[in-house]
Amino acid sequence: MLAEQEIIARFCEAGHLVDPTVVSYLRERGDPALISGILAGIRKDCAVVLPSHIPSLTPKRDGIRFTADPLLEVVEGMEGSAGPVRQIEDYVSLFRNRYDCLGSLIRKRSGAIPIEALTHSSRFRDSEVTIIGIVIDVKSTAKGHRILELEDPTGTMPVLFNNGRDGFSDAERIVPDEVIGVRGKPSPEGKLFYADQLFRPDVPVQHAPYTPKNSGKVALISDIHIGSDTFLQEPWERFCDWISGADDISYLLVAGDLVDGIGIYPGQEKELTIPNIYEQYDRLGEMLQTLPSSLGIVLAPGNHDVVRGAEPQPVIPPEFRSQYPKNCTFVENPAAVSIHGARVLMYHGRSIDDLIGMIPGARYEAPAEMMEAMLKRRHLAPTYGRRTPVLATEKDRLLIDPVPEILHTGHVHITGISRYRGVLAVNAGAWQSQTAFQKQMNINPTPGQAVVVDLEQMEPQIYDFLS
């Protein structure tokens, strides 16, 4: 196995810095000859060694694309696919499906043995092995190490990450219910597993986004909150005027909280200018009627919308849609939308609240870091049972598979952009100024902004309509 410091030192001696993705790739492979191969192929004046410098690692797209992709297609999360509330037993299928899908992504990079091979036999007691499972519990010990319980279909195993080992900061970010692989050695009695290395399903290092030609631009927004007394009417109108004249923008995607809703939190009625839920949706529909009919608009629900809160959330029902023009497409939360073949994964982002509460150093001001946390775990809401309600479904609809070109979220009302292994992560802000609740929580929103992405270049740009 290669240690992190050893890899960094080898590149440093040759006069190069090294990207953390390259370090984790080399650690996973554990082959020192790979470092020599990279060094042989790069120029002497190369400042930072990037994944593109790894020989034989050719850029690859994830998932199938077709040459004749329609302009706009709902690939996942079309009306009617969320299904009704099911039986409690279906949670078994949900977590089994999560384990199977994410476990197989890890298994592609590291062969693994079932946990029962450690608990029921002594064959592997002296060997370095990998096990893969769902984290059913995780906590820190009195001495600051990290201990977790890992479960696969054959058994459970306590796993210890020593805080003096390489990559401990990754272990500090392990959250309950995520699927991970760990490489290390079992204790002599087979009752504890000493972990040296952590594997997440992650986005492949060689992932390359699909960039459709002549596809124009897409505007990403979220959290309009029509009906709230903090809805920003004037910036919204400026945005509508602007997008009506922006001929190169062909699509407008909205990632939930279309309206402020009713009964979402105690005392909300005092903060509503439109107290009727039908009228809230009608008002948004009337506003969208003023936009060009050539603009493809995609509308997903969020936790303030009229549908059930458990995810996947169904589309806004027809009785609320009478005022909406024909160019509006209603989708579920989450939903995957293909635009000229580029896949945009829309998710409202409720789980960001949970991730911020569990990941050390996480802040509301940096929501894109939480989107990276989702991409690493290949899951939109890894932890069950906190603030993100998740429905029992046969298949886990919150998996990130295949890898999208763009991950589009909202919910925290703060704009954030990041690029992680070729995926553009955009948390769109809101059209609502700071609410009393946000003030109490010391959350400072960045309202009145739209993020426009040129699909051919995958380049984002923030437009501000606040002033």
CB of 256 to Fe ion, least distance (A): 6
For residues 115 and 124, is the Cβ–Cβ distance under 8 A?
no
Interface residues toward Fe ion, by CB under 5 A: 223, 257, 302-303, 411
Which one, 341 or 429, has the nearer CB to Fe ion?
Answer: 429
CB of 42 to Fe ion, least distance (A): 45
Tell me which DSSP letter residue 316 carries. Answer: P
Q: How distant, in Å, are the alpha carbons of 52, 55, 203, 206 from that of 58? A: 8, 8, 14, 6
CB of 350 to Fe ion, least distance (A): 6
Which one, 377 or 411, has the nearer CB to Fe ion?
Answer: 411
CB of 107 to Fe ion, least distance (A): 35
Which one, 153 or 357, has the nearer CB to Fe ion?
Answer: 357
Which one, 223 or 354, has the nearer CB to Fe ion?
Answer: 223
Which one, 343 or 411, has the nearer CB to Fe ion?
Answer: 411
Tell me which DSSP letter residue 87 carries. Answer: -
Which one, 245 or 267, has the nearer CB to Fe ion?
Answer: 267
Q: How far is it, in rounded angstroms, from Cα 329 to Cα 345?
A: 15
CB of 356 to Fe ion, least distance (A): 14
Q: How far is it, in rounded angstroms, from Cα 113 to Cα 99?
A: 14
Q: How far is it, in rounded angstroms, from Cα 444 to Cα 466?
A: 14
Q: How distant, in Å, are the alpha carbons of 209, 359, 404, 432 from that of 414? A: 25, 18, 22, 11
CB of 293 to Fe ion, least distance (A): 28
- The residue assigned the tokens 């509330």 is 85
CB of 382 to Fe ion, least distance (A): 18
Contact residues for 15 (Cβ-Cβ < 8 A; gap 6+) = 44
For residues 319 and 284, is the Cβ–Cβ distance under 8 A?
no
For residue 106, what is the enclosing H or E element? helix 90-107
Which one, 181 or 429, has the nearer CB to Fe ion?
Answer: 429
